[in-house]
Amino acid sequence: MSGRRVLLVTGGSRGIGAAVCLAAASEGWRVAVNYSSNRLAAENVVAQIAAAGGSAVAVQGDVGSEDGIKAIFAAVDAAFGRLDGLVNNAGIVGPPQRIDEVSPERLERMFRVNVTGTIRCAAEAVLRMSTRHGGKGGAIVNLSSAAAVLGAPGQYVDYAAAKGAIDSFTIGLAREVASEGVRVNAVRPGIIDTDIHASGGLPDRARDMAPSIPMQRSGTAGEVADAILYLLSDKATYVTGAILNVSGGR
């Protein structure tokens, strides 16, 4: 039991993150299911994993705060005493706004959660996984977005810019720690059917956008999770610095 690899998924309680937690547990990972506010959703994921014979804990913490990040990693250390993988999945959008409508407060939070949160969680993971720090190596997967290359004009260019930063960070960190046993990759989902669209005030976005997607449909959280699980796995031992589109051709 104690030899099984440990994965931390930020925002693991719903959507893509929850699908990653369930898929990872079915492949034998022990999983830390991070959430920010919806404890019941996280506990539901943990219960599903336990019912299937896996091992998971719910870990509260806001990746948009340094105290939250410290609490998340302290909880992972206490529960498992090791870390082998990190999926930087927690992310937020905002309601559709042109940049001349975006408030400084929204912009600051957009970058604090999506960019600073990802970078700081990666730093804490490197401290635990890098051979430079006495670790045994590991893998990090960051959640970018097709918006990073499409720009999301008229919708949320601030979110798109934040995801562009994730692409650059993925490339840089991958090269920085490549010789220390840590692989770093990203996925760029297109339109995936999760609650994130409702949180941005567009509950029907996945359905409405389908005709504009080359595959003529939105993707599922499970389809993104499959790509992430590949990048975490020993099937990807020579893959680092890659950014994989999971977007139905979008």
Decide if 159 is catalytic. yes
> Between residue 25 and residue 54, which ones bind ligand NAP under the rule CB under 6 A?
34-38, 41
Q: How far apart are CA 110 and CA 50, in angstroms?
A: 34
Query: Binding mask 93-122 vs ligand NAP (x if CB under 6 A, - otherwise)?
Result: --------------------x---------
231 near ligand NAP, judged by CB under 6 A: no
Question: Judged by CB under 6 A, which of 7, 8, 15, 54 binds ligand NAP?
Answer: 15
Angle, alpha carbons 166-172-174 (nearest 5°): 95
Q: How far apart are CA 173 and CA 240, in angstroms?
A: 10
Burial of 134 (0-12, 13-18, 19+ CB in 10 A): exposed
Size of the site for ligand NAP (CB under 6 A): 30
142 near ligand NAP, judged by CB under 6 A: no
Q: How far apart are CA 66 and CA 60, in angstroms?
A: 13
Residue 245's alpha-carbon distances to 68, 222, 250, in angstroms, are 30, 15, 9
Q: How far apart are CA 72 and CA 67, in angstroms?
A: 9
Spot the catalytic one: 156, 159, 230, 238: 159
192 near ligand NAP, judged by CB under 6 A: yes
Q: Which is nearer to ligand NAP, 135 or 148 (CB)?
A: 148
**Sites of contact with ligand NAP (CB under 6 A):** 10-11, 13-17, 34-38, 41, 62-64, 89-92, 113, 143, 145, 189, 191-192, 194-196, 199
Q: Which residues are catalytic?
A: 159
